[in-house]
Amino acid sequence: MSDFKKPIITKLTELNKIPIAERSKYYLADDLVATVGGFIRNDEPLIPVLSENHSFWVAPFWQDEPVVTPDPELQQLLDKEGDYFRKYIQQHPDFSFLLRATVVAKLEQIQSQLPSHLRLVLKAGYRPLEVQKWLFEDNLQYLRQKFPHYTEAEIYHLNLEFVADPENFIPPHATGGAVDLLLWDTRTEKPLDMGSPINYPDDLSWTWNMTNLTKEQRHNRIFLTELMTSNDFANLASEWWHYSYGDQYWALFFGEPNCWYNLCSDWHVQSHLIEN
C-alpha cells in the first residue's frame, strides 16, 4: 500500500458538510452505511442482461480469459471473481448476469450520452451471497499474506474497502443495484486506462488517489466518475470501477432517507418470471 491518506467518513455530521458533487472523494464507512434502512422498492425485479439486447456491452468476469501478468500472485487474485462465479454457475447453471430493472434503464441512458467510440462494459452485477462469502474470505487471506505485520482488525477493515462482509453488512452487489464497469474504446479495441486493474485491492484503486497517475489516467477516472454520479450512481471511493444505485451506500451518498433495494435471494424466481 502507498502513503495515500484515505478520506473516510464515519459520522453523518461529517458527511452533511460535504456537497454531493464532492462525495465521490470520500469513503463512507460500513457502520455508517448500515444505519440506512427503508428498502421501499425491494419488489422491483432482477432482470437478465445480455449485450445483444442493449447498447452497452456485458462481459462478466466469469467469461474472461485468465489475466496475463508477470506477477503470479496478482494474476491469481484478479482471476478470483471469475473463478468463483464459474464454480457457482456449475452449481446453478441457470444463473445469468442480473441487475435491477431501473439500474439497467439508467445504464442505457448513460450509454446514450457517451461519444460513439465509447462503450460501457459491465463486468459484475448481482452477486449471490455464496460468491460474496468466497471472495471476502479469499481477499482476507491475500491481505494477511501481503501485510503480515498488520493486526487482524487492521486486515479486516482493509478488506472492507474492497469486499463487503456478508455476515455484518448488506453487500451492494447482493442487492442487484451495484455494478462494476469500465469504458471500452472501439477505436483502439482496449479499455480506457484507469491506472490500476479492475478488482485490484490496493490504494492505487481508490478513485481519487491520483498521485502517481498519468494525465490520461486522471482524465479517464474523472470522466467516468462525473458521468456516473451525474446520472445518480454513487461511486465507492476505494474502487474506481464500482457504482451503485438504490442500495444503502447510494442512499447515504445522495442524502436519501431510505434506500430501495435489500438483498435479492430469489434471483432464480424473478429471472424465470421475466424470461417467461
pLDDT at 35: 93
pLDDT at 269: 45
| Annotation: CATH topology of 8-275 | Muramoyl-pentapeptide Carboxypeptidase; domain 2 (3.30.1380)
Any idea where the domains of the chain sit in the sequence? 8-275
Region of 246 please: left (phi>0), alpha (psi -120 to 50) or beta.
left
Note the pTM of the prediction, 2 decimals.
0.91
Which value, in Å, is the radius of gyration of the alpha carbons in the chain? 18
CB 225 within 8 Å of CB 24: yes
The label of the residue with cell 482476507 reads 140
pLDDT at 162: 86
Q: Which residues 6+ apart lie within 8 Å of 171 measured at CB?
A: 127, 129, 132, 164
pLDDT at 74: 63
- Grid coordinates of 250: 447510494
CB 131 within 8 Å of CB 164: no
Closest CA to 186 of 114, 239, 240: 114
pLDDT at 276: 35
Average pLDDT, consecutive stretches of 10 residues, N- to C-terminus, the chain (276 residues): 82 96 95 93 94 93 73 66 92 94 98 97 95 89 88 88 88 97 95 94 93 96 98 97 98 96 70 40
pLDDT at 75: 61
pLDDT at 64: 80
